[in-house]
Amino acid sequence: MGRTDRQDDAKSVALKFVEVINAGDSEGLVKLQAEDFTLIDMAGDVSRGRDGWEDYFSAYPKYRIQVDHVLMSGDRVAIVGKTTGSHVPPEIEEKETVIWTAEIRDGLVAEWQIYSDIEEAKKRAQKQE
């Protein structure tokens, strides 16, 4: 069974969201977020609303997402990749794999959740010391 136009649209929105994150464009992100946008971070902490990106970009201006693979199911998109310039120490970040899931609703990102193997990345980094 092939992809649908809806899946292609969801993928396009999610990848545009990453592109705008990589540009450090908090105003652009607001335009791509649903009014009731929800962010769930690696620790499972939930933030609702469109605020917060500007503070993160100020603290981590070199934050970037590298997309390695994209998976789709309906209006949900999973992005597998890595980051650079985040709050995670570089020696761990380079060994960490991150998955971002996006729920797309009416052409906007309604939910953005982050999963990470940071504990495994820490172990891998310690083994190389």
DSSP string, 48-73: ESS-SHHHHHHH-TT-EEEEEEEEEE
Express each pLDDT in 45-90 by its tens digit. Answer: 999 988 878 888 889 899 999 999 999 999 999 999 999 999 888 8
Written as one letter, the residue type at 67 is V
Q: The dihedral of CA 46, 51, 56, 57: what is its sign?
A: positive
Q: What is the mean pLDDT of residues 16-34?
A: 95
Rounded to 5 degrees, φ, ψ at 81 are -175, -150
CATH number of 5-127: 3.10.450.50
The upper half-sphere exposure of residue 33, i.e. CA atoms within 13 Å in the direction of its Cβ, equals 23
